[in-house]
Structure 1
Amino acid sequence: MKVLLTGANGFIGSHILDRLIEMGHDVRCLIRRNSNLKNIEHIDCEYVYGDLLDCDALNKATQNVEAVIHTAAHAKDWGDYDLFYQSNVEGTLNLIKASKVNAVKKIILTSSISVYGEEHSTLAKNEKSPLNSHYKYFLDSIFPCKMNYYRDTKRIAKDKASEFAKKHNIDLLFIEPVWVFGEREFGTGFYDYLNTVRSGAKFLPGSNSNYFHVIYVKELAKAYERAIHYDFKGCEALIIGNSSPILMNDLYTMLCEGAGLKKPYNLPKYITYPVAFVMEVLWTMLRVKTPPILTRGRLNMFYDNIMFDVSKAKEVMGFEDKSDLKESIDKTIKWYQENGYL
């Protein structure tokens, strides 16, 4: 199948590209000029240069393809709201419009479980849960948490994409991954945690009781490849994750043991949260472009129950993550070590 892939040089996109090529698909990649292509330099495929705000490039990229897989996004927890909106909302709509003009049959968009909310919950959320992306952090109305910029713009993108699709009779599939780890990951927190422990940290944020939901990136890539064969209709969403959540304390213990490190002691939230808040305020007032090591958004992930029901993907698409979590973690750590990152 001829497939257009956006964000192909990124963490998740590069693994999807590997899987598509492995399964015999003909892939065209939309790449920004001057992008770092290290993740995909081993693959010979077609490039179209441009970005999600370049409508001419999008028109060219979507010509004569049967499916579009959209993974490009502004996925950070720091920065200006306008950057999040332009990439995550306007860029997504531009891609859908170009796909419509060129009669692309299957449009698969990467959404996020964050559209359902990542606040503490004792219940597993599913695709029918209400969209509740905005996390109500302490003094958020005065000092907005930038993590909400990502969450909120992904929700807006889902709303606007669905509205456009229904108006123009377009079929859309939203893939909504839980937290992703694996080789080439440097932005979702797992590598940062290991690197911080390796530097000698003895105490870090953490809890012994909260559950967290993850998926190995190579398993996620299989779900995307399967999705281009799935006959979805209307606007449909699929949450993709490991078969069950894991205690976050156990997850980080596995990570540390796999890397030959001693897991730090957990610091309670009443100690770490004020520090994170003060750092965010200072960084915001000083207009620092890079995020502080602690933010309210990052911090709450260490304490909140974040669980999802992933059964729908198995029921309707036949996808189930059957990988062994420890083996996947060990493969990830081995890659970091062999490439000089740990």
Structure 2
Amino acid sequence: MTTYLITGATGFVGSHVADLAHARGITVRALARPTADLAHLKSLNAEIVPGDLTDATAVAKAVDGVDAVIHAAAKVGDWGPVEDYRRVNVEGLRTLLDAVKGKPLKRFVHVSSLGVYEARHHEGTDEGEPLPDNHIDGYTQSKVESEKLALEYVRQFQLPITILRPGFVYGPRDRSVLPRLVDRLKEKSIVYIAGGRYALNTTYVGNIAEACLLAVDNEKAVGEVFNITDGEFVTKRQFFETVADGLGLPRPKRSIPLWLARRLATWRERVFRRKNKPHPPRITQATLKFAGLNLDFSIAKARAVLGYTPRTHFAEGMAAALADFKKG
């Protein structure tokens, strides 16, 4: 019997990886907090180990006897002390990697983010791009550090690790980004940056799940890093208008230039940090990157090495995401 440990299996990406693994006859094991909603995992007959990445004993139990680990758990967000992100995204990963050292593991797939690249315009950027040491927020800073840690374990301990970098992940069961976006559309508070003409690095959740399983099965993936997107040029305007039209909400109309958005983000972040605000301002450097920079990345390496072909395109994926959102 083949068993995969999937971290973050109660969350967005991890639950879809669990679905796909279960559909292929693989036993799913999940490390999950007892307070988490386990209904979906139980419907997959998943093995559930109580605990989280900060609990070394629980982690050791979770990895015992598994054939592969797909690490999709992470602390996400664009606000707060970097140490809070490091505790989960770097030190939690270290605990997991230490637990699998010396075990006959087929593959360890680390789900990272295209956010690790420099916050600038990208036009076909591939995996050969060097990563900056310092980033604009705690999440992306910790994801860069977690990648470096994973690759160090490849070199020092010959762990069979593959790193995947998805872009903006969307699809059914998104309980974070889409609900906030819908609220902003209802408030009519969304403002385009540079007319919304730049690319958004859309990645349907089912496509990244497929990439995870491809990485497990491909020997050439060991020690490699792959960009993962839908392989389409979807503009920010196209994205926002698709959501608005699909839910019968008014389309955003206002736009500001990129230079002004940069100044606003810098000013608002400075003010909020000075006042120790627990929540971010409406515009941050991270939201500016999402809404105002051209985020076009090459997936040629994933196509050539992994055999990755995005099965679901933007129109179909957003239709599924919106249908799920309407169900509540």
TM-score, normalization by structure 1:
0.88
Task: Note the C-alpha offset of 1:53.
Answer: 2.1
Which residue does 1:100 correspond to in 2?
101
Using the TM superposition, give the Cα deviation of residue 288 of structure 1 relative to its aligned residue in structure 2, in angstroms: 2.7
Matched, 1:305 2:294: yes
Query: Match for residue 81 of structure 1?
Result: 82
Q: Residue 141 of structure 1 corresponds to which residue in structure 2?
A: none
- Report what 2:205 is aligned to: 217
Q: How much does 1:221 deviate? A: 1.3
Partner amino acid, structure 2, of 1:89: V
User: Residue 117 of structure 1 contacts residue 133 of structure 1 at CA under 8 Å; is this kept in 2?
Assistant: no
CA distance in 1, matches of 2:11, 2:112: 15
Contact 2:199/2:234 (CA < 8 Å) preserved in 1? yes
Answer yes or no: is 1:230 the counterpart of 2:230: no
> What's the C-alpha RMSD, in Å, of the aligned pairs?
2.0
CA 270–129 in structure 1, closer or farther in 2 if over 3 Å, else same: closer
The one of 176, 191, 205 equivalent to 1:204 is 191
Query: Of residues 287, 305, 310 in structure 2, which corresponds to 1:321?
Result: 310
Q: Which amino acid aligns with 1:32?
A: R
Structure 1 328/233 Cα, relative in aligned 2: closer, same or farther at 3 Å? closer
Q: Residue 254 of structure 1 corresponds to which residue in structure 2?
A: 242
Shift of 1:125: 1.0
Look up the match of 1:132: 132
Once the two structures are superposed, residues 174-233 of structure 1 have per-residue CA deviations (whole angstroms, 9 ceiling, x without a partner) of 01111111112133x44422221123x065233332112101112221221222211136
Pick the structure with more helix per residue: 2
Cα distance in 2 between the residues matched to 1:168 and 1:332: 40
What is the alpha-carbon distance in structure 2 between the residues aligned to residue 233 and residue 316 of structure 1? Answer: 7
1:1-342 to structure 2, matched below 5 A, reads 1-37=2-38, 40=41, 42-121=43-122, 123-132=123-132, 134-135=134-135, 145=136, 147=137, 149-187=138-176, 189-199=177-187, 201=188, 203-208=190-195, 209-232=197-220, 234-268=222-256, 269-339=258-328
Offset at residue 273 of structure 1 (A):
4.3
CA contact (8 A) 1:134 1:151 kept: no
Please report how far the alpha carbon of residue 291 of structure 1 lies from its aligned counterpart in structure 2 after TM superposition: 2.6
Taking only the aligned residue pairs, the percentage that are identical comes to: 26
Structure-2 separation of matches of 1:111 and 1:202: 30
Q: Deviations over 1:27-50 (max 9, x none)?
A: 110112322446545432111112
Letter in 1 for 2:253: Y
Q: 1:39 to 1:159 in 2, by over 3 A?
A: same
Contact 2:164 2:226 in 1 (8 A): yes
Contact 1:65 1:104 in 2 (8 A): yes
- Give the length in aligned residue pairs: 325
Cα distance, 1:320–1:191 mapped onto 2, change above 3 Å: farther
Q: CA deviation at 1:163?
A: 1.4
Shift of 1:126: 1.0
Distance in 2 (alpha carbons) for counterparts of 1:324 and 1:26: 28
CA drift of 1:65 comes to: 0.6
Q: What amino acid is the match of 1:185? A: D
* One-letter identity of the residue aligned with 1:219: N
Unaligned runs of 5+ in 1: 136-144
Unaligned runs of 5+ in 2: none
2:297 is paired with a residue whose SS is: coil
Question: Structure 1 pair 332/203, CA: closer, same or farther in 2 (3 Å)?
Answer: closer
The secondary structure found in structure 2 opposite 1:314 is helix
